[in-house]
Amino acid sequence: MNRTEKIKFIDGLRQSLANASLVVVVQQKGLSVSQMGSLRTKIREHDAHLKVTKNTLARLTVQGTDQQGLSPFFNGPMALAYSSDPVAAAKVVVEFSKENDKLQVLGGYLNGAILEAQEIQHLASLPSLDALRGKIVGLISTPARNLASLVQAPGSQIARVIQAFTSKA
């Protein structure tokens, strides 16, 4: 890689990391090509990305940014997993590290804060953003569903419900 290509690579990676909510630094000592391929496939399925890079290029990428605190994690064979969802990349790499001890979570970056490995593991245990949205929609729609079923009930049942409420008061 010549100097121009390195500069282009650093700028591209810096832009990708700037757009990401979460960046996870992992050490991948001894992973085979097929294991890395499996990890990349799982990462892509969750709309996340994985970038294997040299430590020097990674340090230059985060230099002068909010993510500069990640530099101490850049030792040995490492990769950066990142996603716009604040949980997706963490979930995938933590699950994969449980299955394969050759992948180790070192730390990460989430919305201005540098996270240690334990914090990344706690983050991975949270439900995804889409799952949380689904729960909220379910909670909001339940009263409306109950009201709709009440309105469809015959008049005598509505009268009984109103009578029950007035007798409580």
Distance between CA 144 and CA 167 in Å, rounded?
24
CB atoms closer than 10 angstroms to residue 30: 10
| pTM of the predicted model over 0.75 | no
pLDDT one-digit tens code per residue, 111-169:
889 999 999 998 888 877 777 778 888 777 777 666 666 566 566 666 777 777 777 76
Instruction: Break the chain into its structural domains and give their ranges.
Output: 3-126, 130-168
53 secondary structure, DSSP code = -
CATH of range 3-126; options 3.40.50.300, 3.30.70.1730, 3.30.43.10, 3.40.5.90? 3.30.70.1730
pLDDT one-digit tens code per residue, 84-113:
888 889 999 999 999 988 999 999 999 889
